[in-house]
Amino acid sequence: MSVLNLTAVSLGKKIQAGELSAVEATQEVLAQVERVEKDVHSYVSYDGEAALKRAKEVQQLIDEKKLTHPLAGVPVAIKDNMCTKGVTTTCSSKILSNFVPPYSSTAVEKLEAAGAIMIGKTNMDEFAMGSTTETSAYGITRNPWNLDHVPGGSSGGSCAAVAANEAIYALGSDTGGSIRQPSSFCGVTGIKPTYGTVSRFGLIAYGSSLDQIGPVAKDVRDCATILSTISGYDSKDSTSIKREDYDFNQYLGQDIKGLRIGVPKGYFKEGLDKEVADHVLSLAKTLEAQGAVVEEFDLSLVEYAIPAYYVIADAEASSNLERFDGVKYGYRAKEYNGLHDMIKKSRSQGFGPEVKRRIMLGSFVLSSGYYDAYYLKALRTKALIVKAFDEAFAKYDVILAPAAPTTAPKIGSSLADPIKMYLGDIYTISVNLAGLPGITVPVGKDKNGLPIGAQLIGNRFREDVLFKAAYAYEQTKTYEMCDLAQKGVN
Amino acid sequence: MANIISDETIDYVGILAQLELSDQEKEQAKKDLGTMLDYIDKLNELDVTGVSPMSHVFPVWNVFREDQVTNGDDHENMLANAPEEKNGQYVVPKTVE
**Chain segment A139-157, per-residue pLDDT in tens:** 999 999 999 999 999 999 9
Which residues, including other chains, have CB under 8 Å from residue A1's CB and lie 6 or more apart? A490
User: What counts of helices (H) and strands (E) characterise chain A?
Assistant: 15, 11
pLDDT band at A419 (very low <50, low <70, confident <90, very high): confident
Look at residue B97 and tell me whether its pLDDT is greater than 80: no
Quick one: CA dihedral A253, A256, A262, A263, positive or negative? Answer: positive
Please give the tally of structural domains in chain A: 1
Ramachandran category for residue A65: left, alpha or beta (phi over 0 → left; psi -120 to 50 → alpha): left
Pairing between β-strand A189-192 and β-strand A212-217 as defined by DSSP bridges: antiparallel
Which residues, including other chains, have CB under 8 Å from residue A285's CB and lie 6 or more apart? A294
Question: pLDDT tens for residues A9-39?
Answer: 999 999 999 999 999 999 999 999 999 999 9
Question: pLDDT tens for residues A233-285?
Answer: 999 999 999 999 999 999 999 999 999 999 999 999 888 999 999 999 999 99
CATH number of B38's domain: 1.10.20
Look at residue B61 and tell me whether its pLDDT is greater than 90: no
For residue B17, being part of any structural domain is answered with: yes
Give the best residue of A380, A433, A460 to mutate against chain B (max B CB count within 10 A): A380
Q: Which residues of A are catalytic?
A: 79, 154, 178
For residue B11, being part of any structural domain is answered with: yes
For residue B25, being part of any structural domain is answered with: yes
pLDDT at A406: 97
Alpha carbons A190 and A440: distance in angstroms, whole number: 5
pLDDT band at B71 (very low <50, low <70, confident <90, very high): confident
pLDDT band at A71 (very low <50, low <70, confident <90, very high): very high
pLDDT band at A49 (very low <50, low <70, confident <90, very high): very high
Instruction: Please answer yes or no on whether A381 and B48 come within 8 Å at the CB atom.
Output: yes
For residue A15, being part of any structural domain is answered with: yes
pLDDT at A488: 77
**In chain A, whose CA is at the least distance from the CA of B9?**
A364
Structural domain of residue B31, as residue ranges?
7-43
Look at residue A417 and tell me whether its pLDDT is greater than 90: no
Structural domain of residue A37, as residue ranges?
3-253+468-486
**Pick from A116, A80, A121, A60: nearest CA to A229:** A116
| Cβ–Cβ under 8 Å, residues A396 and B68 | no
Look at residue A325 and tell me whether its pLDDT is greater than 90: yes
pLDDT band at A1 (very low <50, low <70, confident <90, very high): low
Give the best residue of A243, A318, A360 to mutate against chain B (max B CB count within 10 A): A360
pLDDT band at A40 (very low <50, low <70, confident <90, very high): very high
For residue B80, being part of any structural domain is answered with: no
For residue A320, being part of any structural domain is answered with: no
Which residues of chain B does A326 touch, with a Cβ-Cβ cutoff of 8 Å? 83
pLDDT at B47: 95
Alpha carbons A193 and A227: distance in angstroms, whole number: 8
CATH number of A171's domain: 3.90.1300.10
3-state secondary structure of A457: strand
For residue B22, being part of any structural domain is answered with: yes
Q: What is the pTM of this model?
A: 0.97
Please give the tally of structural domains in chain B: 1
For residue B59, being part of any structural domain is answered with: no
Instruction: Please answer yes or no on whether B17 and A318 come within 8 Å at the CB atom.
Output: yes
For residue A361, being part of any structural domain is answered with: no
For residue A77, being part of any structural domain is answered with: yes
For residue A97, being part of any structural domain is answered with: yes
Q: What is the mean pLDDT of chain A?
A: 97
Instruction: Please answer yes or no on whether A363 and B17 come within 8 Å at the CB atom.
Output: yes
For residue A132, being part of any structural domain is answered with: yes
A442 membership: H or E segment, kind and range: strand A438-445
Q: Which CA distances in Å does A410 have to A143, A165, A450?
A: 9, 22, 11
Which residues of chain B does A327 touch, with a Cβ-Cβ cutoff of 8 Å? 83, 90, 92
For residue B51, being part of any structural domain is answered with: no
Averaged pLDDT, A328-357: 97
**Pick from A101, A103, A204, A100: nearest CA to A154:** A204
Look at residue B1 and tell me whether its pLDDT is greater than 90: no
pLDDT at A490: 64
pLDDT at A190: 98
pLDDT band at A401 (very low <50, low <70, confident <90, very high): very high
Backbone angles phi, psi at A446, to 5 degrees: -85, 180
Look at residue B63 and tell me whether its pLDDT is greater than 80: no
Gap from A335 CA to chain B (nearest CA, Å): 11
Question: pLDDT tens for residues A360-370?
Answer: 999 999 999 99
Question: pLDDT tens for residues A185-214?
Answer: 999 999 999 999 999 999 999 999 999 999
- For residue A380, give the nearest of B32, B33, B48 by CB distance: B48
Which residues of chain A does B89 touch, with a Cβ-Cβ cutoff of 8 Å? none
B12 membership: H or E segment, kind and range: helix B7-17
Alpha carbons A218 and A221: distance in angstroms, whole number: 9
For residue B77, being part of any structural domain is answered with: no
Instruction: Please answer yes or no on whether B81 and A195 come within 8 Å at the CB atom.
Output: no
| Cβ–Cβ under 8 Å, residues A301 and A380 | no
